[in-house]
Amino acid sequence: MHPPVFLQTLLFITILSVPVLLPAGTVNRVADFSEANLAGWEEKSFEGNSQYGFVDAKTAGINSNDLKNGQQILRASTQGQASGLFKEVNIDLTKTPYLNWSWQVQNLFKNNNERSKEGDDYPARIYVVVSGGVFFWNTKAINYVWSSNQPVGSEWPNAYTGNAKMLAVRSGEKQLGQWITERRNVRKDLKNFFGKDIKKIDAIAVMVDGDNTGQSATAYFGNIFFSD
């Protein structure tokens, strides 16, 4: 997958966005997947189309105390395609710096070097994007990924652009098939990666892609929100 193209697409949207002011302590919901709701989300294709659609968690065989009976989740799969779902947001990280999400990965990619262009595929990832305004080359992104082979906590530049950073939140087979809830301090992560106190997020994206390896993968995503 080619991040510079994706970042420029997100940039075009976010330049036109209007900031949303939230009371302190307010949870900012950006994805109501449990309601089978994709309002405000758009798909961007890079190489064919990954498959995105809603399924009942129980029907999908996912068991977790965090999932209600009949709850919908987003199923994302690829058979060698690459497309992502993205949404413009206006997140004030001084008020809600924590990104919260849940996910499950069913399988990994084999023998791919995720630090190379030929191996730049992930069974699941969530982007957060900071617009560079009219200076698109200043657009920055963090990819929170479920890595096939990099150690948990490892960080590296994306193979296509130094402005997109990769962070392995989960890795390998240890927790495959488990419903996992995550919480990341995005403001802190941005400062660690870029050395600046960035206070606003302009877009978010979810993706599963297999275009570089030609392999298949399936993942599931729950609701996504920012909190204090």
DSSP string, 54-66: EEETTTTT---TT
Placement of tokens 């690829």 in the chain:
78
Q: Output the pLDDT for position 46.
A: 94
Distance CA 210, CA 46 (A): 11
Domain 3-17+26-227: give its CATH code. 2.60.120.260
Task: Compute mean pLDDT per 10 residues along the chain, 228 residues long, and list them.
Answer: 58 43 71 97 96 96 90 98 97 97 98 97 97 82 98 97 96 96 98 97 97 97 98
CA-closest candidate to residue 124, choices 148, 100, 142, 141:
148
Q: Output the pLDDT for position 15.
A: 41
Q: Are 67 and 103 in contact (CB under 8 A)?
A: no
Placement of tokens 């023998």 in the chain:
111
Q: How far is CA 59 from CA 79, 102, 221, 223, in A?
A: 22, 17, 15, 18
- The count of other CB atoms within 10 Å of the CB of residue 141 is 24
Q: Output the pLDDT for position 128.
A: 98
Q: Output the pLDDT for position 5.
A: 55
Q: Output the pLDDT for position 6.
A: 58
Q: How far is CA 42 from CA 6, 25, 93, 162, 211, in A?
A: 12, 28, 23, 25, 19
Beta bridge partners of 156: 166
Domain-wise residue ranges, the chain: 3-17+26-227
Q: Output the pLDDT for position 213.
A: 96
